Amino acid sequence: MSTDVRILAIHAHPDDVEFQCAGTLALLREAGCAVTIATMTPGDCGSAEHDSESIAAIRREEAAKAAALIGARYVCLEFRDLAIFNDDDARRRVTEAVRRARPDVILTAPPVDYLCDHEMTSLLVRDACFAAPCPNYATRQWDPAGALARIPHLYFVDALEGTDRDGRPAPVDFHVDISRVFEVKRRMLACHASQRDWLLRQHGIDEYLDSQAKWAAHRGAEIGVERAEGFRQYRGHAYPQDNLLLKLLRQDGRGGAVA
């Protein structure tokens, strides 16, 4: 299917998208969608060996390589790790990023997750979706983009391992079957080589590629497929109510195809 639909996947750090929704992005690229992958920070705290500027440079390059595997564009909003706050400047910066990407569909962090950066990203992106079509909402950025025509369709990706900050299950609304493109998702995560030792040290994840595979298999088993990713659609007041993501993918969200 050929389409001019634009997709923005925006999460807190390099590798978050690869863990949670890269398979869906690969399918959307196959469907002809233009994809932008954005991170709020360059992952400047994600190392015990490099200083913040050095690891930030490494991780920007890794993120760009991962995006390139599916022909996506990568951008970083240049916040800093553990310093994303829900304030006026941040909301205007995120709104500008949304306007520049001009997306029809946005995939972002879940509202409740184990880390403040994830939760603040979710909140800021939700409000930026609402603000982006408002012509009188000035972002005060250099050479600002124009307002959007409408509020984008907004989806939240899985929380890490499907649990909230207290370890309780965080259910999803629907699943996307990514079995056919899982190896692409795996290669995208493998681009983030700098994170292997850090994830073991800080998160207790012994093998990050295996962790990715196990969770995709877990979500897949819930709908009877090999690998899947889970999502929730935000349907707050004034936001789009139809599930454009599933329409683009020609899936029913339960493991079946739609003609």
- Domain-located, residue 254: no
Give residue 211's pLDDT: 86
Distant-in-sequence, close-in-space partners of 246: CB < 8 Å, separation ≥ 6: 174, 176, 252, 253, 258
Read off the tokens for 258: 């739609």
Contact 101, 89 (CB under 8 A): no
- The Cα-based distances of 124 to 78, 194, 224 in angstroms read 14, 27, 34
Give residue 47's pLDDT: 83
- Domain-located, residue 41: yes
Give residue 253's pLDDT: 98
Number of domains in the chain: 1
The tens place of each residue's pLDDT in the chain, 259 residues long, gives 446 999 999 999 999 999 999 999 999 999 999 999 999 999 999 888 899 999 999 999 999 999 999 999 999 999 999 999 999 999 999 999 999 999 999 999 999 999 999 999 999 999 999 999 999 999 998 899 999 999 999 999 999 999 999 999 999 999 999 999 999 999 999 999 888 776 666 665 557 888 899 999 999 999 999 999 999 999 999 999 999 999 999 999 999 999 7
- Domain-located, residue 259: no
- Domain-located, residue 57: yes
Q: How far is CA 47 from the centre of its chain?
A: 21
Give residue 196's pLDDT: 74
Predicted TM-score of the model (pTM)? 0.95
**Spatial separation of the C-alpha atoms in residues 83 and 118, rounded to whole Å:** 11
The neighbour count for residue 72, using CB atoms within 10 Å, is: 23
- Domain-located, residue 257: no
DSSP run (H or E) holding 64:
helix 52-68
- Domain-located, residue 85: yes
DSSP run (H or E) holding 222:
helix 208-223
- Domain-located, residue 66: yes
Give residue 1's pLDDT: 46
Give me the CATH number covering residue 116.
3.40.50.10320
- Domain-located, residue 40: yes
Domain ranges, residue 217: 6-249
Read off the tokens for 35: 């994809």
